[in-house]
Amino acid sequence: MSLPPPFGFALPGGPGGPDPNDPAQLQAFLAQLQQMLVNTGGGPVNWDLARQVAQSQLRNDPPIAGPQRAAVQEALRLADLWLEEVSSLPSGIRQVEAWRRADWLTHTLDVWRKLCDPVAGQMTVAIGELVPEQLRGQLGGMTAMLTSIGGAMFGGQLGSALGSLAAEVLSAGDIGLPLGPAGTAALIPANIASYGEGLEIPEDQLRLYVALREAAHQRLFGHVPWLRAHVLTAVETYAKGISVDREAVEDAMSRVDPTNPESLRTIAFEGIFTSDDSPQQKVALARLETVLALVEGWVSHVVAKAAGGRLPDAVRLDETFRRRRAAGGPAEQTFSALVGLELRPRRLREATALWEALERHRGADGRDAVWSHPDLLPTDADFADPEAFARSTADTFPDFPPEEEPPREEEPPPAEA
């Protein structure tokens, strides 16, 4: 049977390929493949390669000077103090840190692995299925090696995207997901300085505004116990429903040059993953977009209240960051194109308006009480009329966090006559 060469070289049994009945030719072919798979790890993504590629992009990663570290720590502590006045949620910060770009990569890679493996697994299955079923028995373990090639290629692409993200994010929670260690608030001074170029806003104001956003994320994820799992599960559920364009996979694999390992890094996987139109996937997408918008909307709302009257450029910063989160940076857009996951909140303004309406009708405590259970969160339909949702829930939610009853003072014994 003839077989087109989907991997840039002829497969056994295909035209120009080695004779599958000739052990010497087959062994030479397997050795050639093995050379491509040096340092390939298990699983659908070669995460060792992803880490190496990402780190190679972060060579210009300046060290953090003592004054920079002190400024970050002071900004995070002051931000947390300001938030006390505008949120009923207590501080979620147990540790404050200044990170280099490589630190962000190190501390978030485990969560990225959890989020990206479901998508990558579909791609590697598609690569294995490029080999006709009639030949799989003859190729034996080589089919698994072919899927490993895909894992290496995707790992290189993913590493490049994560390296670009590491050079753009401003803090541990900058893109709205709980990526870093729980309770650790961290800013990336080098990226804050780069982002501030051209804004004409003093760096200390920008740093404090970023610190407010980071501290708000820590409060929310630190004291809403179900939220971390809820957000990550929403991302995973949507990722599992992303489909693979098999023609695009075959086209990408055809560009692999087995004599040039660098070709693994130059293959473009953008456009391979697409969201299908199944009812289940539409529900998953709506759930993901809603929870991302609610998280970012709450953060934007409480940060604007905390910064107002304190930071001279608070209004400009609020609008700048709103546009930044709504559009996503270049690296975030690259990541979305690569894995099919858009992590930017599409309805940020509507979500922010909803939290503002809740505070007007119920106060800060009643607003934060909405986080007491996932079933109490607004739905996508509620975004259309925030005032109606706020009025309809004026007496629905319990106090959150629950107020402790103050201890009763013992009455003094009656004085003796």
Q: What does 252-306 look like in DSSP terms, one character per residue?
A: HHTT--TT-TTHHHH---TTSEEE---HHHHHHHHHHHHHHHHHHHHHHHHHHHH
Among 256, 305, 386, 399, smallest CA distance to 83 is for: 305
Q: Report the pLDDT value the prediction gives residue 363, as an integer from 0 to 100.
A: 92
The two beta strands, 273-275 and 242-244, are: antiparallel
What whole-number distance in Å separates Cα of residue 178 and Cα of residue 159?
19
DSSP 290-347: HHHHHHHHHHHHHHHHHHTTTSTTHHHHHHHHHHHHHH--HHHHHHHHHHS---S-TT
- Tell me which H or E stretch contains 244: strand 242-244
Among 301, 103, 93, smallest CA distance to 182 is for: 93
CB 132 within 8 A of CB 94: no
- Tell me which H or E stretch contains 111: helix 101-128
- CB count within 10 Å of CB 148 equals 23
Give the pair of three-digit tokens for residue 263. Answer: 């070709």
| φ, ψ of residue 244 in degrees (nearest 5) | -110, 130
> Where do the domains of the chain lie?
43-339, 348-392
pTM: 0.80
CB 374 within 8 A of CB 321: no
Q: Report the pLDDT value the prediction gives residue 254, as an integer from 0 to 100.
A: 67
Residue whose pair of structure tokens reads 């308006």 in the numeric block: 353
Among 97, 150, 158, smallest CA distance to 126 is for: 150
Q: Report the pLDDT value the prediction gives residue 331, as an integer from 0 to 100.
A: 65
Stretches where the chain sits below pLDDT 70 are 1-21, 25-43, 124, 126-150, 249, 252-271, 275-277, 330-331, 334, 337-340, 393-417
The partner residues of 96 in beta bridges, in order of sequence, read: 185
CA of 49: how far to CAs of 61, 120, 154, 256, 259, in Å?
Answer: 20, 14, 9, 16, 18
